[in-house]
Structure 1
Amino acid sequence: MPFQKTDLHLLDLIATVRKYRRLVLSFFLVVFGLVVLFTYASTPLYEGAAKVLIEKGEADELAARGRSSSFDPVFYETQLQLIRSRAVVERVVDMLNLEKDYEQYLESASNRRTVLQFAWQLLGDMTDGVRKMLFRKEDSPAGENGRKASIVEKITENLLVRPVEGTRLVTINFLSPNPELAALVANTTARAYIEETLQLKMDATRRSLEWMGRKAEDEAQKLKAAEQALQDYMKANDIVTMEDRIAVVPEQLSEINLQLLRAETRRKEMEILVNKIGRAGRNYQKLETISAITSDLALQSLRSQIVETEKSIMELSNKFGSKHPLMVKTRGDLQVLERKKRQEIDRIIDSLRNEYELALSNEQTLRSKLTGSKSEAIGLNEKFIQYGALKRVVDTNRQLYDALMLKLKEQSITGETNPVNLWIVEQAAVPKIPSKPWKKGNLILGLAIGLIGGIVLAFLIDYFDNTIKDPEQAESILGLPILGVMAKRRNLKYDVEETVLREPHSSFAESYRGLRTAVFLSFADQAPRRILLTSAGVGEGKTTTSVNLAITLAQSEKRVLLVDGDLRKPRIHHVLKVPNTRGLSNYLAGAVDGHIVQKTAIKNLFVITAGPIPPNPSELLISSKLPGLIDSMSSEFDVIVCDSPPVLPVSDARLLCRLFEGVIMVAAGGKTSYEFADRALRILKDSGARVLGLVINALEIEKSSYYHHSYYHHYGSDKKDKTPVAEPGKSS
């Protein structure tokens, strides 16, 4: 069953503190005592504080040297770490010669110590020595180097660097038992930091100049090689006239393209004309229709003469006959002219064909020239591309070389500048009073931690305490009514079982009378006559509760039979001081008859003891004789109270609970957990038992949240019972 905390109230908090007041007080005293011991036993430490101003300078440009930049948190954190660096501290040790004088400073401070401080320091030295022996490193430095390293480590541990919020100021603090050494180390650290910064800058400049010098030499060699390669390429490819040729070639290509276009047009015209002549063949009449032929002047002259001759023949034929000599002569002249015309046409055709062949040849020549010019242009472009690549290499190497030389000259000029501007604005004065330990603050802190820590510890213990200690909480969690709460008794004059008899007016006796009343009121119609008492585990007070409940019932003028049903660890015969030779185990085993009831020294109280411890208690309890015994006893007695074994360890209580009208669960306050109690209740309910309620036994009332009812437990406790009471085991 998960334990759930209820809401806390002020009374609950006060109750928790009161419950664990001894723990709270012990924790407070221990913590406060340790704080006081540490405060007054610690060696006083004096703090020397020097104040410096740190600004970031710009040294990249000559014109910008010395100007402060904007706030850079990374830069300032770097400077703070640099101040506490080992290099700066070693420089401080060297500047102050602490390798020889450090012990003298400490001896001077030790003269001011008290005996307590000296003892505390001695204890610390012994602890450090043991720790060094146990965790000694193999590679730890020895001799002078080891001494210096030890001093550097001690100074570093006590060196504090703090930035002043909202400013560029930094305080350098050093703690030491010697006030003079505290101020001296703080001031020297500031100077050592300045020198270390300059040294770092000089080293960086020297390394930079060395690197740039080597790099410049390499770039000079590369530039020389690149220039030589470019020169060789220019000579091999006549690059000197290449730029002029590259400018002329495009114009030549354009002119050749234009001429080729014209030649191709002319060739096509002549080709058409020649094809037309070829189709006409020897038909001179068709040939004379071709314009290229008819436009010939010689042919036109012959055609004019032929026309004139024909006209003369027509005129002569009107005057003379066909055989007239003049007619014959004129016809002969006409034939001669016709023959000349055909010869002229043949000559023109031959001329046109020659002209076509010339145009074709001219076109081919121009086309070949164009192809050659294109090849030349491509070759020039390839050479110029390679030339451009070589020239770019030369230009790049020259620019890099020039940049390196410029940077080298600039670095040599600005190498002595410092990128960090630092001023010591306040020297550390010799402190008059120690800064540590802060006695007033430590004592206040010890009071607060001791008190608050004790209260918190009490709350934590109470929070994780899962035991039954609050009646109201137990009633809420377990779902059972609380029949009674029995306070834990201390400084007892009598056994707890005898208190009800010997102190009848005490709060303890009144608690059991309250339990008796609660049992009577647990049934609506009539009080239960058969009552079984059990618990979750051993040692929770069920036997004590059984005896005291039986006594209070007997005091109410009822005949009460107390049965010891715990056959494994019987105690009732010891409490009531009666013999145990004959009891329940003898009866259930059949060794004796029914005469096992014994009379006690208390009026109206009778008892059946457990008898000898049997080897098999569970087998006896399932005997058919037990129900008959209980039934027969119920007719003789008003109330039967049975003490049974615990539920969780053994199964006896499960067997007995069926024979009784009600079961009372007993739990030890601050001991029985809710988990165990709930498990026992579930077992009883699964066995058919009717659980009347819970009795919380041995509860420390003053430590529980039930404390505000504690007045009841003391009410009437000062009254003395004057009534004589018979001791258990003696006849009245």
Structure 2
Amino acid sequence: MNGQQPQPVMPAQQADDDFIDLAKLLHALLRYKWGIIGLALLSALLTGLYVQTLEPTYRASASIVLEAQETQVVNVDNYNSYNYRNYDYFQTQFELLKSQDIAERVVRRLKLQDHPFFNPKEEKEPSFNVRAAITSLLPAREQAAPVQLSEAEKEELKIQGITAYVAGGLSVQPVDYSYIAYLTFESSDPKLAAQIVNTMAEEFIQANLEVRLEGTVQATGWLTERLDALQQNLSDSEQALHDFREREGLVQVQGTTNLGGNELQALSQRLEDARRVRIEAENIKDNVQGLPNASTDELMTVPAVLQHELIRELKRTQSQAERKVAELGKRYGAKHPKMIAARSDLDAANDDLAREVRKIVSGISREYELALRNEQQLQANWEARKEEMQDFNRVEFELTKLERVVETNRQLYDIFFSRIRNMSETGGFEKPHARLVDRALPPSAPFKPNKRLSVMLALVLGGMLGCGIAILLDLLDNTVKSPDDVADKLRVPLLGTLPKVDVAEGGYIEHIWQKQNSHFAESIRSLRTSILLANVDSPAQVIVVTSTLPGEGKSTISLNLGAAIGQMEHVLVIGADLRRPSLAAKCGLEPNHKGLSHFVSGTEELDDCIEYLEDIGIHVMPAGVIPPNPLEMISSKRFIDALQTLRTRFDRIVLDSAPVQAVSDALVLTSYADSAIYVVKADATAAAQAQRGLASMVGSNEPLAGVVLNQFEAKRAGRYFSKDRYYQYGEYY
């Protein structure tokens, strides 16, 4: 060994869950394209055969419109009226169209129980009933006698069955933002389908008219009964009003209430004024009585005395007399006649003032008594008038109540009388709530089955199913199929790709020396170049070729690789698979030809164990006789010495080793070698098994050069997308 460091092998990592490899999916679809096409064509064929057996179904369609507003000649406070702009109303009408009642009316009107469609003439041949046959073999048991139905009952049961068929087959499709709806019915008889749709619309309109007419008749009867009761109530209320007027002696009371109220209000105002006057007189009286022996000047301090008009006049006269005496006193003496006359006038003014003050004081008590009597009289009048008004109000209230009852009964009687007269005159005139816009015509072409659409749909669905199965198979297939899988799943270098070659009779294949210009030969030479250029400074002299499992082509690759290198160097190919040797057979030698086991054991000389193949130009050493302990032989020191001897005689030594997963011989041989080549069979070797085999080699620090992808079908693989390049295997050669 030359101490070459092994190449690191990374375990395959799972791709990002969110990443979808479209190229991989496309490859899976191309890989199973013929299966996908076959499944799609088979689905289309089976569907076409099935739809040919189906009975054609025809669809008839008619349209109706619901009136937005119902114009009624009789307006009995919107009796039998609907909110035609309400969504719920239209939905209700559409559900009524599909009701059993309308369907039964159609069946009875068209007499569908006698129609040939529901009475086929051909009677089916009685089929073999397994249950009846088994029952006949069992012991008989008592059973209830079958119920015998009359002809009328049988016909009624048949009508009910046809009614369910008609109601279930009708479809109502409202048109958005409009009052129009389409009625459709499907049947294998086109004329019957159109006839049922048209009759359904007509019976729907007629049923609504009958319901409204019936409601009008019921309303008329109810109004008649109610009118008699109202007439009796009106007579009773008028008689009660008349009796009340006579009992109370009333003639006319309009305006009396207002007049009495005004009079009572005036009395109340007069009473308020009298009360105010009495209070003022009482206050003055109290002030005067508090001064029993008062002088004139003291009495003059009483506001009521001082503000009296006569007292004011006398007070002015007194003031003038005092002023005159004061003026004359400045010019004349006390005994002067003018002074005496002035003093006499002053005394007369004082006496008049004192006398009038006494009179006013004495009159205050009389004014208070007069004001008190006036107030009391007004209070008595007000109380009496108030009691009269209360009695009159009670009478007026009772009268108004009786008059109101009479008026109400009269209005009700007039309203009901007007209604019943109008309904009696115009009750038979009703406008339809819907009308038929377009009548259904017998369809000329069947609605279903749509053979072309069914076949195309089956073709598409079959193709989609095939694609799904192809993708599922590709996901379940974890084998190494392409060079990209070597990098993505195995994470090791790819030394080369060998194409799949045809195998002749007996398992024989043509080798590189037989077809120098073949695709296989060119691939072997490319592999040779990759190995020789792997390490130019210290080339690998001993090369081990191994694989994961038997049958992956490692022996064929070893022999052809040795032949390719033998064109340039002195090469020895050794059959180191001592358990299932195949190198001797591929070289045309005897199975027990002297070889590696003889040389290592020392029973034969080296030259006797090596054969030179002139047509190939290389030396080969077959495995020889299979030893009982192959692993101990290749692990012995004699094997190491023998390999060292061979290193001195040959430029390159290629060891055809046993598979890695089967035994551990390959790991031991790789530890002696300078480089190892791992063969993977395309579209056969599971990636997980190859990963374990490579991991065991890397774990033992073996010198791994890379992987050779064997039996790769370029034409089948087509074009592969690999990161940043395209492989065009199928078109290169």
Same fold (TM over 0.5): yes
Question: How far does residue 393 in structure 1 lie from its aligned partner after superposition?
Answer: 11
The match for 2:67 is 56
CA apart distance, 1:420? 0.5
The 5 Å alignment of 1:203-242 reads 203=211, 205-207=213-215, 210=218
Shift of the 636–421 alpha-carbon distance from structure 1 to 2, 3 Å rule, reads same
Secondary structure of the equivalent of 2:70?
Answer: coil
Deviates more, 1:479-488 or 1:631-640: 631-640
CA 1:104–1:157 in structure 2 vs 1: closer, same or farther (change >3 Å)? closer
Contact between 1:554 and 1:604, CA under 8 Å: does it hold in 2? no
Q: What are the ranges of 5 or more consecutive residues in structure 2 without an aligned counterpart? A: 1-12, 76-82, 131-148, 326-333, 336-346, 614-618, 648-652, 721-727
* SS of structure 2 residue aligned to 1:421: strand
Q: Which residue of 1 aligns with 2:572?
A: 559
Kindly provide the CA deviation profile for residues 405-439 of structure 1, in whole angstroms up to 9, marking residues without a partner as x.
8778669737743101125656538x5x7665555
The letter of the residue matching 1:40 is Q
- When residues 204 and 681 of structure 1 are mapped into structure 2, their CA distance, relative to the original with a 3 A threshold, is farther
Distance 1:52 1:189 in 2: 9
Alignment of structure 1 residues 253-652 onto 2, 5 Å: 253=265, 256-257=268-269, 259-260=271-272, 263-264=275-276, 267-268=279-280, 271=283, 274-275=286-287, 278=290, 281-288=293-300, 290=302, 292-293=304-305, 348-356=360-368, 359=371, 413=427, 416-422=430-436, 425=439, 427-428=441-442, 431=444, 437=449, 468-472=480-484, 474-475=486-487, 480-488=492-500, 493-495=505-507, 500=511, 507-508=519-520, 511-512=523-524, 514-529=526-541, 541=549, 544-555=552-563, 556=566, 557-561=570-574, 563-564=576-577, 571-572=580-581, 603-607=619-623, 633=643, 636-637=646-647, 638-640=653-655, 642-646=657-661
Offset from partner CA, 1:645-678 (integer Å, 9 cap, x none): 34xx999999997776555455453456767767
For 2:396 and 2:524, how far apart are their aligned partners in 1? Answer: 122
* Structure 1 residues 262 and 363: CA distance shift in structure 2, 3 A: closer
Matched, 1:694 2:707: yes
2:51 and 2:449 in contact (8 A); partners too = yes
Q: Which runs of 5+ in 1 are unaligned?
A: 111-117, 127-140, 312-316, 319-333, 716-732
Q: Distance in 1 between matches of 2:704 and 2:88?
A: 74
Aligned counterparts of 2:295 and 2:199: Cα–Cα separation in 1: 125
Percent of pairs with identical residues: 21
CA distance in 1, matches of 2:486, 2:157: 68
Contact between 2:58 and 2:193, CA under 8 Å: does it hold in 1?
no
Q: Contact 1:223/1:394 (CA < 8 Å) preserved in 2? A: no
Q: CA deviation at 1:257?
A: 4.7
SS of alignment partner, residue 197 of structure 1: helix
The superposition leaves residues 618-646 of structure 1 with CA deviations (integer Å, 9 ceiling, x where unpaired) of xx99x9x6899669736634344544534
CA distance in 2, matches of 1:613, 1:220: 128
Query: Using the alignment, how far apart are the partners of 2:672 and 2:383 within structure 1?
Result: 130
Q: What is residue 728 of structure 1 aligned with on the other side?
A: none
Alignment coverage as a number of residue pairs: 621
Return closer, same or farther for 1:144/1:413 CA change in 2, 3 Å cut-off.
Answer: closer
Q: 1:253 to 1:36 in 2, by over 3 A?
A: same
Cα pair 1:530 1:660 within 8 Å, conserved: yes
Secondary structure at 1:422 match in 2: strand
Which residue of 1 is the match for residue 49 of structure 2? 37
Q: Mark the CA change 1:416 to 1:299 in structure 2 (over 3 Å): closer, same or farther.
A: closer
Question: Post-superposition shift, 1:196?
Answer: 3.1
Structure 1 residues 172-251: aligned runs within 5 Å: 172=184, 174-176=186-188, 181-203=189-211, 205-207=213-215, 210=218, 244-245=256-257, 248-249=260-261
For 2:522 and 2:546, how far apart are their aligned partners in 1?
A: 22
- Give the superposition deviation at 1:200: 3.4
Contact 1:564 1:610 in 2 (8 A): no
Distance 1:376 1:468 in 2: 123
Q: Which of 11, 27, 45 is the aligned partner of 2:39?
A: 27
Structure 1 pair 157–355 and aligned structure 2 pair: CA distance change class (3 A):
closer
Q: AA paired with 2:646?
A: E
Q: CA RMSD in A?
A: 6.9
TM-superposed CA distance for 1:283, in Å, is 3.0
Partners in 2 of 1:162 and 1:259 — Cα distance? 86
Return the alpha-carbon distance in structure 1 between the equivalents of residues 372 and 638 of structure 2.
Answer: 150
Moved more, 399-408 or 374-383: 374-383
Residues 44, 462 of structure 2: 8 Å contact kept: yes
Query: What is the deviation of 1:49?
Result: 4.2
Give, as a single letter, the amino acid of the residue that structure 1 aligns with 2:557: L
Whole-Å separation in 2 of the counterparts to 1:396 and 1:613: 129
Q: Is the 8 A contact 2:244 2:399 kept in 1?
A: no
Residues 277 and 156 (structure 1 numbering): CA distance in 2 closer, same or farther, change over 3 Å? closer
Query: What's the counterpart of residue 111 of structure 2?
Result: 97
Summarize the Cα distance change of 1:613–1:500 in structure 2 as closer, same or farther, 3 Å threshold. farther
- Give, in whole Å, the separation in 2 of the partners of 1:508 and 1:407: 109
Q: Which amino acid aligns with 1:189?
A: V
Q: Is the 8 A contact 2:28 2:471 kept in 1?
A: yes
Matched letter for residue 707 of structure 2: L
Contact 1:516 1:552 in 2 (8 A): no
Q: 1:191 to 1:101 in 2, by over 3 A?
A: closer
Contact 1:634 1:640 in 2 (8 A): no
Residues of 2 paired with 1:661 and 1:416: CA distance?
Answer: 110
Deviations 1:341-376 (A, max 9, x none): 989866643431453466578679979999999999
Q: Residues 684 and 491 of structure 1: is their aligned pair in 2 closer, same or farther, counting only changes over 3 Å?
A: closer
1:554 maps to a residue whose letter is G
Q: Residue 99 of structure 1 aligns to which amino acid in structure 2? A: Q
Following superposition, the deviation at residue 37 of structure 1 comes to: 1.0
Query: Is this contact kept in 2: 1:488–1:699, CA < 8 A?
Result: yes
SS of the counterpart of 1:694? strand
Partners of 1:472 and 1:82 in 2: how far apart?
Answer: 68
Q: Under a length normalisation based on structure 2, what TM-score does the superposition of the two structures give?
A: 0.60
Secondary structure of the residue aligned to 1:62 is: coil
More helix by share: 1
Alpha-carbon distance, 1:81 to partner: 6.4
